[in-house]
C-alpha cells in the first residue's frame, strides 16, 4: 500500500504539471494515494493493535475522512487545512495521547505536530502578506486565491497549537475535553466559512 500511495502522489504531480490544474476526473493521483493510505492504515490498525479498540477508532476515523473529503471539495482550501489539522489532532488525542502521556512517543508526537503547525502558520502568514503566493528560487507560485481568508485560518492554527501545548500541562483525565474543544473550534470556523460562501 505504501508503493501505491507513492505512485498516486507521483501521478498527481505529473498530471498537475501536464494540465496546470487539478484533473477533472474521479480517479486522480490524489484519490488513488488517499485510498491506498486509508486502506493500509486500516489494515495496520486491525492486524497489529487491539481489535476492539481499533474497531471503535475506525468507526469514527473512516467517517471523519469522508467528511474531510467533502470539506476539501466544497470549502476554501484555507479552511480545509485547519479542518484537516483539527481532525487529526482530535483523533490523536482520543486514540493515542491520553494513553501514552509521559512516554517518549508522546513527547515526540507532540513536537512533530507543533512543528507542522509552526510551518503552516509561517506559510499562511507569508501568503497573507503576498496575496496567496510564495516565491521559491525566484519563481512565484500561487497556492491560494488573493481573496482567501487568511486571518481566520491563522487564528485557527494558532489555537490548535495552544491546544496541543496544553497537553503538556493538563492531567490525562482532561485530554478528551481538549479534543472536544478542538472539534468545537473547527465547527465554529466551519460556520464562519459557510457564511462567507453564501
- 15 pLDDT above the threshold of 90: no
pLDDT at position 137, please?
Answer: 76
| Between 18 and 183, the higher pLDDT residue | 183
* Model pLDDT, residue 116: 95
Q: What is the pLDDT of residue 102?
A: 85
Q: What is the pLDDT of residue 40?
A: 85
Q: What is the pLDDT of residue 23?
A: 52
Separation between Cα atoms, residue 179 and residue 164, nearest integer Å:
9
Question: pLDDT by residue (tens digit) across 127-182?
Answer: 888 888 887 777 777 778 888 889 999 999 999 999 999 999 999 899 999 999 99
SS3 of residue 198 by DSSP: coil
Say whether 144 sits in a helix, a strand or coil.
coil
Task: Give the percent of the chain with pLDDT over 90.
Answer: 43
Q: Quick check: 83 and 191 in contact, CB under 8 A?
A: no
Confidence at residue 191, expressed as pLDDT on a 0 to 100 scale = 95
Task: Indicate the SS3 state at residue 147.
Answer: coil
Q: 125-131 long-range contacts, Cβ below 8 Å, gap at least 24? A: 125/150, 125/154, 128/154
Q: Residue 32's closest CA among 64, 71, 5?
A: 5
- 26 — pLDDT class (breaks 50, 70, 90): low
For the cut 90, the answer to whether the pLDDT of residue 198 exceeds it is: no
Q: Which helix (H) or strand (E) holds 134?
A: strand 133-136
CA-closest candidate to residue 160, choices 60, 54, 86: 86
Pick from 78-82, 116-120, 135-139, 152-156: least confident: 135-139
Residues whose CB is less than 8 angstroms from the CB of residue 157 and which lie 6 or more positions away in sequence, other chains included: 81, 82, 85, 117, 120, 121, 124
At 189 the pLDDT is 95
Amino acid at each position: 500500500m505504501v508503493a501505491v500511495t507513492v505512485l498516486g502522489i507521483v501521478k498527481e504531480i505529473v498530471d498537475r504539471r501536464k494540465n496546470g490544474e487539478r484533473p477533472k476526473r474521479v480517479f486522480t493521483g490524489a484519490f488513488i494515494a488517499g485510498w491506498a493510505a486509508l486502506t493500509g492504515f486500516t489494515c495496520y490498525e486491525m492486524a497489529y493493535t487491539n481489535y476492539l479498540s481499533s474497531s471503535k477508532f475506525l468507526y469514527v476515523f473512516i467517517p471523519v475522512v469522508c467528511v474531510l473529503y467533502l470539506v476539501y471539495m466544497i470549502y476554501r482550501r484555507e479552511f480545509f487545512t485547519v479542518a484537516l489539522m483539527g481532525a487529526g489532532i482530535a483523533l490523536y488525542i482520543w486514540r493515542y495521547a491520553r494513553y501514552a502521556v509521559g512516554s517518549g512517543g508522546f513527547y515526540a508526537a507532540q513536537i512533530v505536530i507543533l512543528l507542522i503547525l509552526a510551518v503552516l502558520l509561517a506559510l499562511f502568514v507569508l501568503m497573507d502578506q503576498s496575496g496567496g503566493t510564495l516565491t521559491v528560487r525566484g519563481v512565484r507560485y500561487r497556492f491560494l486565491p488573493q481573496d482567501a481568508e487568511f486571518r481566520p485560518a491563522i487564528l485557527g492554527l494558532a489555537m490548535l497549537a495552544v491546544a496541543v501545548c496544553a497537553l503538556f500541562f493538563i492531567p490525562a483525565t482532561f485530554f478528551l475535553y481538549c479534543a472536544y474543544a478542538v472539534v468545537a473550534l473547527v465547527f465554529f470556523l466551519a460556520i464562519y466559512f459557510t457564511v462567507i460562501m453564501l
